[in-house]
Each structure stands twice: as C-alpha cells, then as structure tokens.
Structure 1
Amino acid sequence: MKNKLLVVAISSFLLFSFVTIQPNDDKKIKKKIIGTWSGSEEGNQIKGVTKYWIQERKKNGTFILMYTAITDCKAVNLVEIGKLWIKDGLFYEKTDTNNDPDVYEVKILEDGKIHFKAKVLTIEFDNEEYEFTETREE
C-alpha cells in the first residue's frame, strides 16, 4: 500500500511540475509575433504625443522599430533595434540603448492583431497602465 501511495505521489508531482513549464507555448507565441506589424497610439505613453510605428520582428530574435512621434504639429522619426524573446508567456523587448528589457503581457487576437500590456517599462510613461494593439502587415 505504501508503495502505491508513493508511486501516486511521485507521479502526481511530476505531472503537475511539467504542467507549469510552458516552453512550447512560448515557441507558439514567438512564432505568431514574427513578421511586420503596425500600430498607433494617441497620448497613451505621453500626453499630447501621437505615435505611429512599424516593427519587424525576425525569427532570429531581433527587431527593428521605426516610428514617428508627433507633438504640436512637429514630427520626429526614430529607429530602434534590439532583441526580443518570450519567457513564461511574457514578451521581452530590449533595445540596444537600454540595459534592461521592457516586459509585456501579450495576447494573440483574431484578424491578425496582437495586444500588449506593459508589466515592466525601462522608462517612465504618463500612463502606468500602458497598452496597445498592433496589426499584422504581411
């Protein structure tokens, strides 16, 4: 009887231990976010600033982000490059100019859209609950 209980206990432990590991889910998410995406937001990061962007996420874990920020009828164009990865279902994005990554919850939506909600940001935004949606371009 003790042997059966021990086997059941060990089996249960192993079963539930593997349930919490999600490398396959991470790979599925990464595969779905690879490609070219566009987005925009108005006053969501910084009040009074509108942003439009296109981002290419590559299979090798790198990205290029090209965006335009508009304030008071003046436009500034910027380009950022960096690395991205998925870990435990979270999206990490680290630009070459930052030491630490931004971290987002990511949700794959219908119709070629993905939604991001900030968990950790490397710079301070006016909106602590920063979130945005992107649309697939290819």
Structure 2
Amino acid sequence: MLRAVDPHEAYRRVELDARVSGSHGADLVRLCLREVDVALGQALWAQDNQRPDVRRRALERAQNGLGALRLGVDRQNPVAPALLAFYEGLAAAVAQNQVRFDPAKVAAVRADLVEVSGAMLGQRALGRAA
C-alpha cells in the first residue's frame, strides 16, 4: 500500500533540495539556520494548536538541520570546536523537547540561532527581525 504524503511537505522538500543544490558556503549555512528556525517555529505553533504530529515532524526537521550544520563545520577552522559544541548543545535541547516539549526552551534555542546567525552572517541572516 502507498504511504500518504502531505503535498505541502513534498513541495517544501523539493524547494529545499533545489535551494541546497544551488547554495555554497555562507549561503548554505544561512539556509540551514533558517530551516532550523522555521522548523522550531512550526513546532511552537503545533504545540499551541494541539498538533503533536506536526510538532514531532518539525522537531525532526530541526534535528536534521542541526546535523547538517555540524557536518558542514570546517574542522580546520580555529572556531570549529566552539561551533560544534554550540550545535551539539542545540541538538541536545531539541532532542529533550522531542521527549518533553517545553515552549520556553524551544524559544531559547531559536533566540540562540538568531544571535549566532547575526554574528556569523550579518544582521537579519535568518530572514526575520531579531
């Protein structure tokens, strides 16, 4: 039997894949940071609207984005250890929220992303006001 696919999710994946294939360097980092931010925002929305299925998928997308960010860190860069520790801390916080959701902690992760994104890539790097 065929698995039901959410058309919105399918189009989002195609758009993301196209954007990733056309991105390099800082643009790719910005894209990953934005995807994690959007996923966490969607998890917060899902919590407010009693949609645990949407929340679960959004937190999985956030974890995947953080994993991509960790994989993309240049290990030769002097700030690599700090950046890896930062991403791992965010991933741990997201994982905790997959077990027991805490909107304040998710909002804190989003705030950390905005702050670091601004420092790394310039103001408004996530495409929303900080």
Provide TM-score, normalisation by structure 2. Answer: 0.29
Select the structure that is richer in strand: 1
Select the structure that is richer in helix: 2
Provide TM-score, normalisation by structure 1. Answer: 0.27
Q: Whose relative contact order is higher, 1 or 2, with alpha carbons under 8 Å and at least 6 apart?
A: 2
* Structure number with larger C-alpha Rg: 1
